[in-house]
Amino acid sequence: MAVLFSSCSAIDVYKTREFSFDDNEKRQRVILHIPKGFAEEKFLLGNTGGKEQYYYYLNGALLYFAKNVNWDTENQLFIDKAKAISENSRFVYKGVDKDGLHWKEIRIDDFRFGYSYVPRDHLEKFEQAINSIQFK
């Protein structure tokens, strides 16, 4: 899956990051376009090879990417209550929480990525971020 930006000015609001992992003894990379302005970047590694990469924003929004995790992602409580939308072997979960903030998670095999606690006026940036990832 790869979606490219159509405008150079759009790239100015994103930072490029890499999410890498081992898959069948081969190093895999995913190129990410993270909305600028995050306050913290955090990595979580599991004992069995799971990895999660988080981007926290001052307004409370969160963007994350995960591979091979055997723990719940940030949106699991929402997902348990939502109905999955299957799109070509992908599962997409999305909604609005009790505070009117947007969340979304996409699952492709054992790769998960999404956002949580996103105000409506920032939604387009986060949608662009998860729709522009590139598997290398």
Residue 1 domain-assigned? no
Q: Which domain holds residue 84?
A: 8-135
Dig out the tokens for 29 from the structure.
């990379």
Determine contact, residues 130/136, Cβ cutoff 8 Å. Answer: no
Give every CB contact of residue 77 below 8 A, 6+ residues apart in sequence. none
Q: Is residue 73 part of a domain?
A: yes
Residue 3 counted as domain residue: no
Identify which of 73, 32, 37 has the alpha carbon closest to the alpha carbon of residue 58: 37
Check residue 96 and give its pLDDT: 93
Q: What is the pLDDT of residue 90?
A: 74
pLDDT of residue 44: 86
**Strand pairing class (85-87; 134-135):** unpaired
Decide if 38 is inside a domain: yes
User: Would residue 130 count as lying in a domain?
Assistant: yes
> Nearest to residue 92, comparing CAs of 105, 101, 79?
105
**pLDDT value, residue 135:** 83
Whether 2 is in a domain gets the answer no
- Which positions of the chain have pLDDT values less than 70? 1-12, 83-89
Q: Is the residue at 22 inside a domain?
A: yes
Q: Residue 50's pLDDT is what?
A: 81
88, part of any domain: yes
